[in-house]
Amino acid sequence: MASSVFLPHNHQHCVQDALRQADTYCEEQGVRLTPLRRRVLELIWEEHKPIGAYDLLARIASEGFNSAPPTVYRTLDFFIQHGLIHKVESLNAYIGCNHEQGSHTSVFFICQNCGVTEELQNPAIEGQLALQAAGMGFQINHPTLEIKGLCKACRHA
Ligand SMILES: [Zn+2]
Ligand SMILES: [Zn+2]
Ligand SMILES: [Zn+2]
Instruction: Provide, rounded to the nearest whole percent, the portion of the chain with pLDDT above 90.
Output: 78
Residue 32 CA to ligand 3 center (angstroms) comes to 35
Domain assignment present for residue 149? The answer is: yes
User: What is the number of other CB atoms lying within 10 angstroms of the CB of residue 95?
Assistant: 22
pLDDT of residue 103: 76
Domain assignment present for residue 3? The answer is: no
- How far is Cα 128 from Cα 125, in angstroms, rounded to an integer? 5
Among 86, 121, 93, smallest CA distance to 5 is for 121
Radius of gyration (Cα) for the chain, nearest Å?
Answer: 16
Residue 128 CA to ligand 1 center (angstroms) comes to 29
Domain assignment present for residue 4? The answer is: no
pLDDT of residue 150: 97
| Per-residue model confidence as pLDDT tens digits over 82-133 | 999 999 999 999 999 988 767 788 999 999 999 999 999 888 998 999 999 9
Domain assignment present for residue 1? The answer is: no
- Strand blocks (E) in 18-120: 85-88, 93-96, 106-111, 117-120
Residue 98 CA to ligand 1 center (angstroms) comes to 11
In terms of residue numbers, what domain contains 110? 11-155
Report the predicted TM-score, pTM, of the whole model to 2 decimal places.
Answer: 0.91
Read off the pLDDT of each residue in 75-88 and give the average, rounded to a whole number: 94
Q: Which ligand is nearest to the CA of 101?
A: 2
Domain assignment present for residue 2? The answer is: no
Among 122, 107, 111, 120, smallest CA distance to 49 is for 111
| Per-residue model confidence as pLDDT tens digits over 14-31 | 999 999 999 999 999 999
Domain assignment present for residue 85? The answer is: yes
1, pLDDT greater than 60: no
Residue 38 CA to ligand 2 center (angstroms) comes to 18
| CATH number of the domain residue 135 falls in | 1.10.10.10
- How far is Cα 94 from Cα 83, in angstroms, rounded to an integer? 12
Q: Which ligand is nearest to the CA of 145?
A: 2
Residue 9 CA to ligand 3 center (angstroms) comes to 15
- Give how many domains the chain has, as a whole number: 1
* Residue 151 exposed, middle or buried by CB count within 10 Å (0-12, 13-18, 19+): buried
Residue 150 CA to ligand 1 center (angstroms) comes to 18
| Per-residue model confidence as pLDDT tens digits over 47-61 | 999 999 999 999 999
